[in-house]
Structure 1
Amino acid sequence: MLLVNCKWEQEAIINGVKAIEIEGNQVYSHIKTEGMRMYFDSKIEGEVTFFDEYMLIMKVIMRIPRSSTFAISILPVINGSAIEGYKYTVGGHK
């Protein structure tokens, strides 16, 4: 699961992320939105890193007008916790 934090243009972000396709298959589904937090389930299989997924999502967000002014963070959610996911992306643990 991935967490996208952004207060602006949430509908455009959700629709864009849900539209991401790999080999003709949509790979993200929107789970829920809580305030500025948008949660997505990832169906990407194989050896894909968080950085790969981050780049896929950022490419979609950067197509939204004025997106360069957005405050955005994207984090993996591990064991139901974005904090634990952050530990794995920053600390280099696997």
Structure 2
Amino acid sequence: MMMRILSAVALCLALTGATQAAASCYVNRPGVDISFGVKVGGTFTEADRNEFYMLRLRGMGVDATSVEMWGGCVRAFVRKPGGGEEMQLFHPQSLERVG
């Protein structure tokens, strides 16, 4: 019985953390945000956007194996130095880690 309670509490804590991280992805980061009204070519597909974020993260030194938008955040699966992977969340504008 105690193990079930502990499992339920751990699940609630994990979901609460992910929800808080996702909510922070919708907040604009301080600083200057410049955009231009020039459009060349078609729109980006989801795969194009994921590839763009993966290249930016790798350029920042994050060893991402896959990247996708998830709940307003950029979700990346990142290789850990000791082996295996872990999920990390990043803000889509600044790519600051949020979770």
Q: Same fold by TM-score, threshold 0.5 exceeded?
A: no
Larger Rg over CA atoms: 2
Structure with more contact order per residue of length (Cα contacts < 8 Å, sep ≥ 6): 1
TM-score, normalisation: structure 1: 0.28
TM-score, normalisation: structure 2: 0.27
* Greater percentage in strand: 1
